[in-house]
Chain A
Amino acid sequence: MTVASRTAPRRRRSGGALKESGARLLNFAIVLAVLALLWQGAVWWFAIPAYLLPAPPAMLAALYAQAGSIGGAAAFTILCTIGGMAISVMLAIILAVLFLVSPLLSRGLMPLIVVVRTVPVIAIAPLIVMIFGRGAWNSIGIVALLTFFQIMLSTRQGLIAPTRNTLELMQSYGAGFFQTLVKVRIPFAIPFIFTGLRIAAGSAILCAMFAEWLSGAPGLGRLILDAYSTQDFPLMWASILAGTVTAYLFFTMTIAAERLVQDWIR
């Protein structure tokens, strides 16, 4: 790289959140396509048996054949994840507002929340399953528990984010606590909430799948491991692919949502 190009004025990135997501998904698709080519090459060159690693066409065939059950499982997983995160957000907002009202409560419970966030919530899944039984909808609760702490921290950060100048301005207009809350703090907090959702989303879907496996709920997690235990390898690989794509799509969507909200606020 020449000296000149390294320090020329930077280009401003054109296009918004949607363009970025499109580019991201395109990258993902390209990587998958390249991997598929390498994969096919490897399978053919090394004569790898199908149970170890099926060739892409075989896997796509299995995907097509079982589209119904795989699609249903994927939908279930996504619904549980979204449901869990929605519950988290509602609880997080309520608790964050409560913390605003009572600083004592905040000082008491915030350190707890910070500490619990670092705990491997997936390790708590067996606990939840034991307490609440092996119901199909337990994964919603587990996702809610997992995502709550991260979203809570982000929400709180957002609610206390308005600068002193802004708050003093509201005070000079004679705005009360709740008016300030609704007109200033919550709008300020929305981008932070979406950032928290994005951070939590990555592990949320994987956690949902793990919880499904433990509790036997009809989601992708159980499908993958059932296929594994019944040695139905095409199905297993097909659902792994579906699971990967689903997780990546979900993650990309949360990034896009975060960017959209940030752009809109601006």
Chain B
Amino acid sequence: MSSSGRVIRRQAKAALPAVVAIAAFLGLWETLVQSGLAPTTIAPPSRILALLVAERGLLWFHVEPTLLTALVGFLAATLAAFAIGLLVHAYRRIEVTVLTMGAVLDSVPIIALAPILIIWLGLSLTTRMTLAAIICFFPILVSLLQGLNAIPRNADELFLVLAATPIQRFRRLALPHAVPYLFIGLKIAAPLALLGALIAESTGAEWGLGVFMLNAMFSLQVDQVWASVVLSCGLSAAAYGLVCLFERLILPASTRSRVA
């Protein structure tokens, strides 16, 4: 027990400069605004915090649909990437085609995707979920394929010598090998899904954090803009953290650290 205590103390010591830096930054920010040196479009941390607390009901009312959109989009993208990834792994010939099509889809500017989807699917929650899914689909697919392709040649030969069937090879070699790589893609995709939800909302929706943020911007409600930006940053970090937590639960420590 004392060794884990030592580890915690060592981690705390290492984190100290960062904590000090953050505190100093916030302090500087606060004093600059309060002393009147900063432009009025910059809100001090104290006011932002106050607003977050005071208006938490309203904020939650807007955050809820955004989170839902992001979550559903993320899950849909993961499922789609899995399905297509498996197909590509089984039929290597289509890999280049699929990757190029994915790259093309990925290149269509998000700004353009929104109007297209709205024209085709109408203004609805489903449309926004689709947009979120499209944005984070490609990173998940790419990292999954990377993991499936990075199987060492010796491991392939091993399964050959052991006379494994293709299904056995997939279940016991390819899939477990690809999981750490998949998580790298998931970590990129989670904040992207939230981003997609925000952008989708800002181009056409009635409720949502994106709507709230945009309205505040156009009506120059300084505190509201800052609060919603801070909120979206926090949610993005939380999304990333949740995936990390999930990874920690699923993968034993040895395989996690293997992939940088």
Chain A residues near B (Cβ < 8 Å): 3, 6-7, 24, 27-28, 30-32, 35, 51-53, 104, 107-112, 115, 118-120, 122-124, 126-127, 129-131, 202, 205-206, 209-210, 213-214, 220-221, 224-225, 228, 236, 239-240, 243-245, 247-248, 251
B71-100 to A contact mask, C-beta < 8 Å, 1/0? 000000000000000000000000011001
For B6-47 the 0/1 string (1 means CB < 8 A from A) is 000000001101101110010000000000000101100000
11 contacts between A and B (CB under 8 A): A6-B156, A7-B153, A30-B100, A107-B17, A112-B25, A127-B225, A209-B111, A220-B109, A221-B111, A247-B108, A251-B103
Q: Of A31, A115, A209, which contacts B104 at CB under 8 A? A: A31
B112 touches A210 (CB 8 A): no
Q: Say yes or no for B250: interface residue by CB 8 A criterion.
A: no
B229 at the interface (CB under 8 A from A): yes
A210: chain B residues within 8 A (beta carbon): 110-111, 199
Asked if A244 and B116 make an inter-chain contact with CB atoms under 8 angstroms apart, the answer reads: no
Chain B interface size range: 35 or more
How many angstroms between the C-alpha atoms of A243 and B21 in the bound complex?
40
Instruction: Give the chain B neighbours of A119 by CB distance below 8 A.
Output: 191, 233, 236-237
Q: Which chain A residue shows the least CB distance to B198?
A: A123
Distance in angstroms between the alpha carbons of A108 and B23 in the assembled complex = 11
> What residues on A are CB-neighbors of B217 within 8 Å?
126, 129-130, 214
A28: chain B residues within 8 A (beta carbon)? 100, 103-104
Residue in B closest to A243 when the chains form the complex, CB atoms: B109
Which positions 218-260 of chain B face chain A at CB distance < 8 Å? Answer: 220, 222, 225-226, 229, 232-233, 236-237, 240
Q: Is the CB of A244 within 8 A of B119?
A: no
Cβ-defined contact, B226 with A127, below 8 A:
yes
Enumerate chain A residues within 8 angstroms of B21, measured Cβ to Cβ: 108-109, 112
Are B195 and A130 touching (Cβ within 8 A)? no
Contact residues of B between 174 and 197, Cβ < 8 Å to A: 191-192, 194-195
Closest to A249 in B: B107
Q: Is the CB of B157 within 8 A of A244?
A: no
Question: In the complex, which of the residues B17, B107, B232 contacts A120, with contact meaning CB atoms closer than 8 Å?
Answer: B232
In the complex formed, the residue of A with least CB distance to B39 is: A131
Q: Are A130 and B104 in contact (CB under 8 A)?
A: no
In the complex, residue of chain A having the shortest beta-carbon distance to the beta carbon of B153: A7
Interface: B150 (CB within 8 A) = no
Cα distance A65–B100 when bound, in Å?
A: 29
* B contacts, CB < 8 Å to A: 14-15, 17-18, 20-22, 25, 39, 41-42, 96-97, 100-101, 103-104, 106-112, 115-116, 119-120, 153, 156-157, 160, 191-192, 194-195, 198-199, 203, 213-214, 216-217, 220, 222, 225-226, 229, 232-233, 236-237, 240
Given known contacts A6-B156, A120-B236, A209-B111, A52 and B119 CB-to-CB distance under 8 angstroms: yes
Once the chains bind, are B111 and A127 in contact (CB under 8 Å)? no
- In the complex, what's the smallest C-beta–C-beta distance from B77 to chain A, in angstroms? 16
The smallest C-beta distance from A200 to any residue of chain B, in angstroms, reads 13
Q: Known: A123-B198, A123-B229. Contact between A104 and B17, CB under 8 A? A: yes
Q: How far is the CB of B213 from chain A (nearest CB, A)?
A: 5
Contact A52 B229 (CB under 8 A): no
Give CA–CA (A205, B111) in the complex, Å. Answer: 11
Given the complex, which residues of B lie within 8 Å of A32, measured CB to CB?
104
Chain A residues with Cβ under 8 A from B191's Cβ?
Answer: 118-120
Docked CA distance A202–B18 (Å): 30
Q: Given known contacts A244-B109, A247-B108, what 10 new A-B pairs fall within 8 Å (CB)?
A: A104-B17, A119-B236, A122-B198, A123-B233, A126-B216, A210-B199, A224-B111, A225-B115, A247-B109, A251-B107
Contacts of B157 in A (CB 8 A): 7
Contact A112 to B225, CB < 8 A, known contacts A130-B41, A225-B115: no
Our pick among A53, A112, A129, A248 for the contact of B107 (Cβ within 8 Å) is: A248
Bound-complex Cα distance A263 to B203 (A): 43
Task: List residues of chain B with CB within 8 A of the CB of A129.
Answer: 217
B103, A248: Cβ atoms under 8 Å?
A: yes
Question: Which residue of chain B has its CB nearest to the CB of A107?
Answer: B17
A203–B41 CA distance with the chains assembled, in angstroms: 27
Q: How far is the CB of A63 from chain B (nearest CB, A)?
A: 14
Query: With a CB–CB cut-off of 8 A, which chain B residues contact A104?
Result: 17
> In the complex the two chains form, is B229's CB within 8 Å of A126's CB?
yes
A213 touches B225 (CB 8 A): no
Bound: A206/B115 CA distance, A? 15
- What residue of chain A has the Cβ atom nearest to residue B118's Cβ? A228
With A112-B22, A120-B198, A123-B213 in contact, do A206 and B111 touch (Cβ < 8 Å)? yes
